[in-house]
Homo-oligomer: A and B are copies of this chain.
Amino acid sequence: MKEYLKHDEWCIIEEGFNPDNHQSSESIFSLGNGKMGQRANFEETYSGPSLQGSYVAGIYYPDKTRVGWWKNGYPEYFAKVLNSPNWIGIDVQVDGHYLDLYTCKTENFKRTLNMKEGYLLREFTATMDDGKKVEISAKRFVSMADTENGAIRYSVTPLNFDGKIAFTAYLDGDVENEDSNYDEKFWNIIEMEAHNGEAYLVTETKKLGFRAAFGMKIAASIGDSKLNISPEVLKKESWVANRIERTVKEGECFTIDKIAGVCSSHNYSKDELLSATKKVTAAGFNKGFDALLLEHIKMWADKWVLSDIRIKGDVAAQQGIRFNIFHLNQTYTGEDERLNVGPKGFTGEKYGGSTYWDTEAYCVPFYIATAPSEVTRNLLVYRYKHLENAIKNAEKLGFKNGAALYPMVTMNGEECHNEWEITFEEIHRNGAIAFAIHNYIRHTNDEAYLAEYGLEVLMGISRFWSQRVTFSEERQKYVMLGVTGPNEYENNINNNWYTNKMAVWCLKYTIEALAKVKAMNETRYNEIIAKTSFNYHEEIPRWEDIIGNMHFPFNEKLNVFMQQDGFMDKEQILVKDLNPAERPINQYWSWDRILRSCYIKQADTLQGIYVFEEEYDLETIKRNFEFYEPRTVHESSLSPCVHSVLAAKIGDYDKAYEMYLRTSRLDIDDYNHEAHEGLHITSMAGTWMAIVEGFGGKRVHDGQLFLNPIIPQQWQEYSFRISFMGNDLEVVVNNKEISIISHAQNDITLNVFEQEVKVSPGQSTSIDAK
């Protein structure tokens, strides 16, 4: 853990500059707007360790993975998240010397991520080698309103001298990926232009030929006086710049505004890309930094109305949840059904690909409750559009007859991850994709979705499960051999309880969905049956047989579900008895040792209990929680949130709070020593779950909304908003009462502490706290 950041309700604040923390800060202070993103790299030269990261949505590189030992069925490529050309660069010279925070002395360094308004501000005083002091302020944002604009305002004030200050604002196409093998570079320069006050760069990725174009226009002022600039126009092989230099008096503030335009072939034809970028850059520039910022802040204000969670009396917790919500909103805005929620968003290169089961298992619950229903629907349609590829993927692995296996990691529906134990065996992802359809429908009542899109996906998935199980003659049960569950610290195991559970649920739900669509829309039903060549009289009985005869590992003596066959053969030393110097174990132990151990990377059996909570009584949940939680190391960011929700459920509020803090401050406090690689975006939705489903006790089943709010003793009050069946409700919880405030158009009935509560539009109702 690192705890170098200041607690604040709305801001992330770093005071004092320590290069050792810089790469973590580059991740934590990242900016994004769903279309592009930027790590908190410095604008000016920085010679210290840094992970340069600028990302344009939808652009990736299909990296060759043919190294080492190949397995049949492996994908041809790994979809590398590409560091795109640099549009933030502004080199600063002070009397001919480059400003570089790694080498000069800094005082009063303060880096602020203002989450309310969505900007990054950096202020400090630097002392150059020759003793000259300058005060610096650099503010930037990636606009949520004008989503193809980024803007930077950079000021230098000489403090103890009169001298020459120069800004070189540039666009640089000569960029690298840190994870590049053999120092490959991935961008070709297509066009470059640099003129008086502006410059443009059109670049293209190797292999797939995605194009990204960057424009910049600059303005400058000294004090309040706008300057009439005629910058020096500079060009190198893949770099275009404007340089302005002025003699600045002691105490005068010399400022450059750099307005950038970033467009890509994801949204424009290649022909029009340069002209579009010029237009976008000019439009942003004409509005100017201040006006752009105002519009941006307004968009953020709207987002915060719907998604904010307020916590009174606990700044660390407040900061944590806002940090999570802020980054989720920066990563995915739900407007483009071709995009998804990458696990690192726009904050790092790691993992590659944009879409994991994280989306359905963690992000859907967040977006479904805090954003218009179209946002979640787009996430589901994304998978529907990949169904054909999922069927091809399953065929590659020997499945037939329309069985679909969705990829573990994808950009366009093709699998792009190749560890056999994950790619081929972590098949529970199929279950999450099916469950998200159910989750969407139970929140929206949009059953038409089933007929239009959902049913075909469910059928593909169920066909997969029905072929993936094996009937064990010895047990006279269906078994599921060779899988990896959500707990990736077990590989190629037999009968992962969670996976078996998910498989059976999928089969059941698909049978229900078939009946529903048939009843609702027989024409469409017949169309689907024909399209999928569905053999009702053969396939349904097989599914029913599996539903009725699946093997679920269970330990009689302990009376708990067993994560997998043979789990109790392991040495049962609890996490609390591990040597803290060897934590996280994935950084200290070899893989075989981890696999042999009983330690759980992330909620696995408990994940299943979380998903299907209605099926279990409190005692069962408690018993299983108390067995598995002491064996869980939470080395997946996706783990603590589920434990937090379940701990709240069974009344273990201390554990719920501990797990909440861990999930919400995972990156801010760098629990797992990896924030420098980028943030854990998808698990941030889990943080939201920890509050709303954990403390708030929000559940939806049988067409009804349930709340069972408790409040951690560390808090005075908290509030959140949720959308249910199109109705927008605000929930405020304190020690005395639960208030439900309706922002809906209609009367709405919900259940609080199992008692029916009605609220009318614009009204609020209170219930005594427990």
> Which residues of A pack against B, CB within 8 Å?
64-69, 71-73, 78, 181-182, 184, 396-398, 418-421, 424-425, 470-475, 479, 481-482, 491-494, 565-566, 568-572, 586-593, 595-596
Contact = CB atoms under 8 A, between A and B. Distances in A.
B596 A470 contact: yes
B72 A587 contact: yes
A592 B420 contact: yes
A67 B417 CA distance: 12
A715 B112 CA distance: 87
A479 B569 contact: yes
Nearest to A594: B72
B181 A566 contact: no
Contact of A570 (B64, B419, B481): B481
Contact of A589 (B69, B398, B591): B398
Contact of A72 (B479, B482, B590): B590
Given A470-B569, A566-B494, A590 B424 contact: yes
B398 A72 contact: no
Contacts of A569: 470, 472, 474-475, 479, 481, 494
Contact of A470 (B72, B396, B571, B590): B571
Nearest to A68: B65
A587 B566 CA distance: 31
A12 to B, nearest CB: 30
Contacts of A491: 491-492
Contacts of A421: 492
Contacts of A398: 589-590, 593
A764 B493 CA distance: 59
30 contacts: A64-B181, A67-B67, A68-B78, A68-B419, A69-B419, A71-B591, A72-B586, A72-B589, A181-B181, A181-B182, A182-B184, A397-B590, A397-B593, A398-B589, A398-B590, A420-B592, A424-B590, A470-B569, A470-B571, A470-B596, A472-B568, A474-B568, A474-B569, A479-B569, A482-B592, A482-B596, A491-B491, A491-B492, A494-B569, A565-B566
Nearest to A477: B569
A223 to B, nearest CB: 52
Given A67-B67, A470-B569, A588 B72 contact: yes
A629 B471 CA distance: 23
A58 to B, nearest CB: 24
Which residue, A396, A398, A419, A479, has most C-beta atoms of chain B within 10 A?
A398
Contacts of A494: 566, 569
A626 to B, nearest CB: 18
Contacts of A420: 591-592
Nearest to A590: B73
A231 B556 CA distance: 88
A139 to B, nearest CB: 38
Contact of A67 (B181, B471, B572, B591): B181
Contacts of A571: 470-471
A69 B423 CA distance: 12
A65 B491 CA distance: 22
A398 B494 CA distance: 26
Contact of A181 (B66, B588, B593): B66
B181 A592 contact: no
A590 B68 contact: no
A418 B68 contact: yes
A429 to B, nearest CB: 14
Nearest to A587: B72
Given A420-B591, A420-B592, A481-B596, A68 B67 contact: yes
What 4 pairs between A and B have smallest CB-CB spacing? A73-B590, A424-B592, A71-B591, A397-B590
Nearest to A182: B182
A455 to B, nearest CB: 27
A470 to B, nearest CB: 5
A565 B590 CA distance: 23
B69 A67 contact: no
B568 A566 contact: no
B68 A68 contact: yes
A482 B595 contact: yes
A472 to B, nearest CB: 4
A73 B397 CA distance: 30
A637 to B, nearest CB: 17
B67 A592 contact: no
Given A72-B590, A475-B569, A494-B569, 8 more contacts: A72-B587, A73-B590, A397-B590, A420-B592, A425-B592, A474-B568, A479-B569, A565-B565
A152 B642 CA distance: 72
Which residue, A181, A474, A494, A592, has most C-beta atoms of chain B within 10 A?
A592
A591 B72 contact: yes
A420 B593 CA distance: 11
Contacts of A492: 421, 491-493, 595
A66 B588 CA distance: 18
Contacts of A425: 592
A68 B67 CA distance: 8
A487 to B, nearest CB: 14
A503 to B, nearest CB: 14
Contacts of A471: 571
A472 B571 CA distance: 7
A500 B607 CA distance: 34
A472 B598 CA distance: 12
Contacts of A69: 419
